[in-house]
Amino acid sequence: MTSNWSASPIARAHEIPHLTKTPWELDRNKRNSIWRRTKLEHENVFPTHFFKKLPREVYDCIVGQLEQLHFESDQSCPSCYLRDMHSLMLTSRAWDRAATLQMYRKVWVLTNDEHPKMPKLKIKGTGRLKLLRRTLRERQTLARYVKELRVPEFQSLHQDASIEREEIVNLIASIVMSCPNLERLVGFHVPYMYTFDRLSHALSTRKELKERVWLLKENDIDSEDEDEELSNNYYHRANDPTECFLDLNSSHTSLTTLVLHQQQPLSSPLTFRAIIGALRQLPSLRSLSISNLPSATFPNLALNALPPNLQHLRLENLPGINDKGLQRFASSHLTTSLKSLTLINLEISNLLTIAGFLSTRVEQLQRFSLSQHKTPRIPVNTSIPILHSTTLEYVHWEIRSQAETPPMRNSAFASRNASSPSFPFPESEPTSCLATCLLSVSIKNGLFPALRKIRAPHDPQGLLQSLCKPRATALLPSDTALLTSPPRSTTPSPSRLSSFDPLSSYMFPEIAGEVKSHAGSSLDTRADSPMSAGFPSSTNSRTSSDASLSTAITPAYSRLAAQARILEARKQPFMTVKVTDPKGEVRVSRPIFGFLGQLDSKIVYEVKPDRQRLMSMEEREGEREWITGIGDVVGEWEEVGGLVACRHLRQRTHRVVEAMEMF
């Protein structure tokens, strides 16, 4: 609106102002007004009854897409997701019903700071837990909706607490008891001390539970009263760890994923009967991970007692398992349903054991992971096995002994089989690893038609890398920090470098140039650059320091080795273009350099680990960095932005079944 004022100041003081309409207000009441037409079109596009007639499935789909947008990216934020869901609930009643169902189906509970309107808390950060418990107890309908309870931040709160640990566990247990249809508890895992605790009891009563993580740890505190109580000759069933463990697993008929991890691998009060009895009570089990159990608790006989219809199996650090037990298990009917198999630090010494799993007998196997230090060999007077699988899609092949001096073929095995026509390896070069060579020959002969991805951290001769699609570079942008980091004190001796060392025969400045071109950062390419002192040779003996060995088997070192092989292949001429004149004289002779790989291959050479982590040397020593470990499942190692990880940060939690599929 505008006002018509007199120009004179004296008249302006006594004159009453008159309001005049703007041009668009005058034109709005006309029949063909552009302002009216725009408003009508806007109303036709978004009518009021449009959202009321939408089916419920449309709302659920939109809410599900909102969850994917928040958590499928590298930088996920549960607080942002909950804030958007709350805003969506305030839009309308239809959106309120859809968002409420989604929020209570997967409940996210985050720690909170003290608020002046909230009552003072005995334990800081637990106010939202108490409010959730009160809501679930008062509204039983909402409590029945809860399928997943995600409390990742309370894991760090529990680890940092001292005397309040038991109260935090009891608070989580009370919420679990309030959810009758709970299927998963994500982000909060406490050790089981073989004594009664409320959280273990609460989870044992949830009949719809689908995932369970057992972190077994023997109580280090010895009480004199307990010793006096157990000194008599009477048997108490409540004090028997085996019976208590069986009772806690007796009601989980719907359990599909189970993780058993012993934090003290040398001893465990559980017996063979406890493990086998618990597994036999789980008819719906599909994913199983067992690690660090002693030989008395999990021997070879335990493999034959595994439940049928297993799809994902992970065996790690089990001293009671040997080649004989694994060969018997590979030939049994229990492996016919396996889709994923992971063998870690079992120190398989017989190549026939691996051939038993990579055969047509395991007809559904899609992922196979092998990680150990020992190099598998073939027994004397035994023919070379055939590795063959028509369903295998992914292979993780990690034999850490290849990071050291590769064995020469002047051994008794080489002389015995050199004249055999079935010996598949060329005589012109030594064999760095018999198992790796056999796998490469099998892939080259088309015995793995469904294979699409190979991850070989230690491939000194590039046998597996040469069978995959050519890569422009094997380095990641984050590898620039390796070339700019200060040198370490451990420096390999030039006399210990071997001709099979993938990094000793190549120039590090060229690798630095490749990183610079792909990452766009300035790197030091001097002759005394930190690269030459920061990475030990792959031929270091087993007696070298643990720090050198742990550095040599990191994913960054493997990527540098793969990049060195790529650069070496570019130096070799692939073909030569010659142009001659009518007299036959060569006018132009220009070589076209080659590449590493096969253009028609369908296999991708993977250089990334399951989860990128950045740990100090003290934390990294003795830990694997390629395969997802128990630390990723329980939140000891957190992933931030897909690149950097540290302890006690808000992590991107995932269900245990997703981690099992990565095993």
* pLDDT tens figures, 102-121: 889 999 888 776 555 555 55
Q: Give the CA-trace dihedral at 303, 307, 309, 313, to 10 degrees.
A: -50
Average pLDDT over residues 504-522: 41
Q: Does position 429 have pLDDT exceeding 50, yes or no?
A: no
Residue 469 pLDDT greater than 50, yes or no: yes
Select from 596, 620, 653 the last residue of a domain. 596
Report the pLDDT value the prediction gives residue 355, as an integer from 0 to 100.
95
The amino acid at residue 481 is A
Judge whether residue 533 has pLDDT over 50: no
How far, in Å, CA of 588 to CA of 577, rounded?
7
Residue 110 is assigned to a structural domain of this protein: no
Q: Kindly state whether residue 244 falls inside one of the protein's structural domains.
A: yes
> Quick one: average pLDDT of 145-152?
91
CA-CA distances (angstroms) from residue 17 to 12, 383, 578? Answer: 9, 109, 94
Say if CB 33 and CB 27 are below 8 A apart: yes
The Cα 617–Cα 543 span in angstroms is 18
DSSP strand pairing (604-605 vs 586-593): unpaired
Question: How many residues can be counted in the chain?
Answer: 663
491 assigned to some structural domain: yes
Is residue 172 included in any domain, yes or no?
no
* Secondary structure of residue 573 in the 3-state scheme: strand
pLDDT band at 485 (very low <50, low <70, confident <90, very high): low
**pLDDT score of 113:** 62
Q: 391 and 366 in contact (C-beta within 8 Å)?
A: yes
Q: Minimum mean pLDDT among 8-22, 265-279, 422-436, 494-508: which range?
A: 494-508
pLDDT reported for residue 40: 46
Res 47: pLDDT: 65
The CA radius of gyration of the chain, in Å to the nearest whole number, is 33
Q: Is the pLDDT of residue 64 over 70?
A: yes
Each residue of 228-260: pLDDT tens digit?
Answer: 554 456 777 777 888 999 999 999 999 999 999
Question: What is the rounded average pLDDT for all residues in the chain?
Answer: 75
The yes-or-no verdict on residue 363 having pLDDT over 60 is: yes
Residue 530 has pLDDT above 50, yes or no: no
The residue among 50 and 529 whose pLDDT is bigger is 50
| Structure token pair of residue 396 | 């993780």
What three-state secondary structure class fits 309? coil
> Which of 304, 323, 342 finishes a domain?
304
**For residue 24, is pLDDT > 50?**
yes
The pLDDT, as a whole number, for residue 650 is 34
Q: What confidence tier does 571 reach under pLDDT thresholds 50, 70, 90?
A: confident
pLDDT at 146 over 90: yes
d(CA 380, CA 294): 31
**Is 624 contained in some domain?**
no
Which string of DSSP letters, residue by residue, matches 156-175? HHHHH-STTHHHHHHHHHHH
415: pLDDT strictly greater than 60: no
Segment 599-639, tens digit of pLDDT: 999 999 999 988 766 444 444 443 457 888 888 777 655 44
Write out the E strands in 278-339.
287-291, 312-316
Res 427 pLDDT > 70 = no
Above 50 in pLDDT, residue 577?
Answer: yes
Note the pLDDT of residue 90.
Answer: 87
Low-confidence winner among 37-46, 270-279, 295-304, 616-625 (lowest mean pLDDT): 616-625
More confident residue, 192 or 618: 192
Confidence of residue 67 (pLDDT cuts 50, 70, 90): confident
Does residue 128 belong to any structural domain of this protein? no
Residue 85: the pLDDT is 87
Q: What is the pLDDT confidence band of residue 45, given thresholds at 50, 70 and 90?
A: low
- Pick from 217, 228, 357, 216: nearest CA to 290: 216
Is there a domain that residue 1 lies in? no
> Which whole number is the average pLDDT over 84-111?
87
Reply yes or no on whether the pLDDT at 5 is more than 50.
no
pLDDT at position 442 is 95
pLDDT at 600: 92
Domain that holds residue 300: 210-219+239-304
Give the count of domains, the chain.
3
Q: Is the pLDDT of residue 436 over 50?
A: yes
> Which of the pair, 19 or 205, is modelled with greater confidence?
205
Query: How far is the first Cα of the chain from the last one, in angstroms, to the nearest whole number?
Result: 70
For Cα atoms 611, 392, 444, give the angle at the middle one, nearest 5 degrees.
105
- Domain-ending residue, one of 304, 320, 337: 304
Q: For the chain, what percent of residues have pLDDT higher than 90?
A: 35
Confidence of residue 32 (pLDDT cuts 50, 70, 90): low
Q: Lowest mean pLDDT of 393-407, 542-556, 588-602, name the range.
A: 542-556
Taking phi first (over 0 means left), then psi (-120 to 50 degrees means alpha), and beta for anything else, what does residue 187 get? left
Is residue 121 one of the residues assigned to a domain?
no
Predicted pLDDT of residue 84: 87
Cα separation of 257 and 656, whole Å? 7
